[in-house]
A and B are shown apart, each in its own frame.
Chain A
Amino acid sequence: MDAILLQILNGLDKGAAYALIALGLTLVFGTLGVVNFAHGALFMLGAFCAVTFNLVLSSSTKVRDESVTLFEAYKEVPILETKFPNIGPVILDYSIPLSIIVAIPFMLMIGLLMERGLIRHFYKRPHADQILVTFGLAIVVQEIIKHYYGANPIPQAAPMAFAGSANLSAMLGIGEGIVYPWWRLIYLAFSLLIIAGVFAFLHLTTFGMVVRAGMQDREMVGMLGINIQRRFSIVFGLAAVVAGLAGVMYTPILPPDYHIGMDFLVLSFVVVVVGGMGSLGGAVLAGFLLGILQSFASMTEVKSILPGIDQIIIYLVAVVVLLVLPRGLMGRKGVMED
């Protein structure tokens, strides 16, 4: 029982990352009709926002290791800690959540730059061109990050208060030994908050209403005198912010490297297709569903019956879903259909 509950939790938390990335992908596809292969790079850029913010805060005075004379061996003492002994260590400790403040405007700017500067020139071009240009852009961004940060993953610590694991059995009275990392629980809660925020934005604001109307019938909204293109550009920026925030908060879970976005991108595309092209709800549902299935498929008991199932489960489910429901779980008629 404990094992099952743990795998469900694990699947939810894994699915949260898929859902966040897939949500952004779907937003862009639903509004602009572009399959954005650079979306994973936005997740990675968000993660590196956190890394950079932490690097800036950790600017250090270097204390030389005198025992080593052949190269510059040193131990770092962060300036923030020496200048502000009370608040400095706390700010450093909370650098990951604090980096959200920097990541939001940065990712919005990157998103708008990407859309206005490059992708808008490809709206009327064939899908193959769009895929090539966005994929190429992703590779360029990756290589820039690799040039400056190297290829090795860069570890990022969660705040000390959330570094350990929560004893859920003791807290909730379920099971016997269910412990789960605090930061992963926070990531799950954060993801649900962001997903709820995006849905609220699209359903409870006039801006969101216009965007949804534009997704249904772009021409009609345009005829009503609304500049739908400008709103869609902002939606692209919003999708970049969502991907970026997903990346920021993921850094303590997975030390980021230049390739982290691409690792998620392929799975997220499967999530989008299984959920149904253009369906925001479908993306979220499929994200969590596939996360949980992947988690269960990795259990030793399952693998002993079906060896290797953990590595193909997502694609297997995608095949089955598309055979039974060709438009995906919540796909709408007419989307990506000639």
Chain B
Amino acid sequence: MSNKKTPLNTWTRRDVLKASAASTAIAGAPMFFTRNAYGADYLNNPGDASSVTLGFNVPQSGAYADEGADELRAYQLAVEHLNGEGDGGMMNTMQPSALKGNGILGKKVEYVTGDTQTKSDAARASAKRMIEKDGAVMITGGSSSGVAVAVQGLCQEAGVIFMAGLTHSNDTTGKDRKANGFRHFFNGYMSGAALGPVLEKAYGKERRAYHLTADYNWGWTQEASIVASTENIGWTTDQTVKTPVGAGDFSQYITPILNSDADTLVLNHYGKDMINSLTQAVQFGLRDKSVNGKDFQIIVPLYSRLMAQGAGDNVKGIFGSTNWHWSLQDEGSKAFVKSFGAKYGNPPSQAAHTCYVQALLYADAVERAGTFEPCQVVAALEGHKFDGMGNGPTEYRAEDHQCFKDVLVVKGKENPSSQFDLLEIVEVTPRAQVEYPHDHEMFSGGALGSCNNGAA
């Protein structure tokens, strides 16, 4: 009997284990790492198809479902306009514009939707599904910075463009910036820079601020931004207290403020947390309080009209900032409000505005690039200057993919004339005042890296 080993019996147990581990790794790898290994020039290239698919990833359930529904309405309106239906909205005011109203590059725009649930893992799963199964060439939307950072990372790995929805954290275009990701919405730093001078004018240079901050990525960066801007005008910071997201009852965090020396409360909360913490702060009589001879004040740095509705009368007289408001009277805003109002019967929210604009900007960049190839779209968006989209002259800065434009400082309206008339614009802060170097310390630690088009 020969002792010569056949090829099969040269396998040792260790070899088998290694092979099975390797095959498991290959089988478990995301499809987008392998599906284009056979020559496609970029991921989800629509080729000769008559249509192209965009992926709208918005919260359709959970606490931000109402805001997500408004984002989806805006995207649907954008798709209509891009396909040459409806009155065209901002396509008529966008300057410059390569859009023709015949889809994108002559391909009819179709879309698929995903539910982020405002959870990073769910948002990544829905974005992944839209990329892998539905062939989405671009992902956009969302109502949370945690989600934006997570989905942006996924799109970078996969090789598609990500046009962020509502995300206000400095990190989205700071330490977590990515070459494939673009943000039209403003950020925490800009809120602070815009609010600082207004607060100084309204409340003076000597104030002691107490911060309640949502304990996650967005809250931290907003707190840092507002602390920096208020200390810059001479205020001191009494305490910065982190609160769990979705705490519901914030009373245990508010009672210590009653016994502090603070005369100003900054609520670095958004959404339901903002509604609850503001309502409870008012209930505890903070706005009736006087400290060191000064009336106690509350500030909500990031406002949303949808949230203001939830907080009711409590928002009256309270300062904050917002990316856009439906009452703006420039031609772009008027055209968008008209289209949106005629279709849906209510004015668009700031989330709807930023999503609509992002969809149009992407389409315009593809038209200018003459291709859906992500890296050429990135090149078309970088440094792109445009106007007529509701925020005055705007630029997508090449270094960090952040839009720079005017910022609105608003105040809860004392005597609203209707159910939508909740915020009044106090000041339109010019772009120059909210601009910062791309390597500013609050945005450092990240790099765009190289663009990825998903080709293997």
Contact = CB atoms under 8 A, between A and B. Distances in A.
Interface in B239-277: 239, 241, 244, 246, 248-249, 251-253, 255-256, 258-259, 272, 275-276
Interface stretch (B100-108, B225-233, B282-290, B386-394): B282-290
Given A74-B419, A152-B310, A155-B312, A165 B255 contact: no
B280 interface: yes
A14 B251 contact: yes
Interface in A166-205: 177, 179-181, 183-184
A294 B252 contact: yes
A22 B439 CA distance: 53
A331 B239 CA distance: 42
Given A74-B419, A157-B312, A254-B248, A298 B253 contact: yes
Interface stretch (A26-34, A256-264, A319-327): A256-264
Contacts of B255: 3, 6-7, 9-10, 295
B62 interface: yes
Interface in B408-456: 416-421
Contact of B310 (A3, A68, A153): A153
B346 A152 contact: no
A260 B248 contact: yes
B125 interface: no
Contact of B272 (A3, A163, A164, A257): A257
B337 interface: yes
A155 B284 CA distance: 16
B259 A153 contact: no
B65 A181 contact: no
A76 B256 CA distance: 38
A14 B252 contact: yes
Contact of B65 (A7, A146, A163): A146
Size class of the A contact interface (CB-based, 8 Å): 35 or more
Contacts of B341: 70-71
Interface in B287-334: 288, 306-307, 309-314
Chain B contact residues: over half helix, strand or loop, or mixed?
helix
Contacts of B49: none
Nearest to B244: A311
Interface in A1-46: 2-3, 6-7, 9-11, 13-14
A116 interface: no
Contacts of B342: 70-71
30 contacts: A3-B255, A6-B259, A7-B252, A10-B251, A14-B249, A67-B417, A71-B342, A71-B420, A73-B417, A73-B418, A75-B416, A75-B417, A146-B65, A150-B65, A151-B65, A152-B66, A152-B275, A153-B275, A153-B276, A163-B283, A179-B284, A180-B284, A183-B283, A252-B283, A254-B276, A255-B312, A263-B246, A294-B252, A295-B251, A311-B244
Interface of B: 62-66, 239, 241, 244, 246, 248-249, 251-253, 255-256, 258-259, 272, 275-276, 279-280, 283-285, 288, 306-307, 309-314, 337-338, 341-342, 344-347, 416-421
Interface of A: 2-3, 6-7, 9-11, 13-14, 65, 67-68, 70-76, 146, 150-155, 157, 163-165, 177, 179-181, 183-184, 252-255, 257, 259-260, 263-264, 294-295, 298-300, 303, 310-311
